Homo-oligomer: A and B are copies of this chain.
Amino acid sequence: MAFVYHRTVYLRDTDGAGVVYFLNFLAICHEAYEESLAAAGVPLEVLPGSRGVVMPVVYTQADFRRPLFCGDHLEVTALPRAVSSTEYELVYTVRRQGAEPVVSRALTRHVCIDPGSRQRQDLPPALLDWLARWGEPHQTSPAAAP
């Protein structure tokens, strides 16, 4: 049920060691997250002046098990789930297309806030729909805590 995203590795993703720079694994995962929102019709409301909520990342972690090279074709699965009434997280799995071994596993946790006051807000209905479409059932247990 998770969202699947395909992405080529570009030269800019790599660094002088000849492999993808560690942060760019996470950047690619965040693209998968944004595409999963778009596929569910949820706009990413990012402008400071936007009404409604913004959902900044408050925690991330990732491991990097195998090197990736320029030109590699990646398949990223993104699995979102709610972790409280105001927070959700996504677990990402990165593989080369058609290859079994996991290249990287990553996680981002997001909090819904009002962009003006920066106070926590409940997950709005559009995000609950997105979670229902791509994610696991709503859980309020702290099982996902790092």
Residues 30-85 (chain A) with a chain B CB within 8 angstroms: 30-31, 34-35, 38, 43-44, 46-49, 54, 56-65, 67, 69-71
A11 at the interface (CB under 8 A from B): yes
Binds B, one of A21-29, A89-97, A119-127, A130-138: A21-29
Which chain B residue lies CB-closest to A59?
Answer: B63
A60: chain B residues at CB < 8 Å are: 22, 26, 60-62
Known contacts A27-B23, A38-B71, A43-B71: A56-B11 contact under CB 8 Å:
no
Contact partner of A10 among B34, B48, B61, B64, CB < 8 A?
A: B34
18 contacts between A and B (CB under 8 A): A8-B34, A8-B35, A8-B38, A11-B16, A11-B46, A12-B27, A18-B48, A22-B56, A22-B108, A23-B23, A43-B71, A44-B71, A48-B48, A57-B64, A58-B64, A58-B65, A67-B118, A146-B146
A126: shortest Cβ distance to chain B, in Å? 14
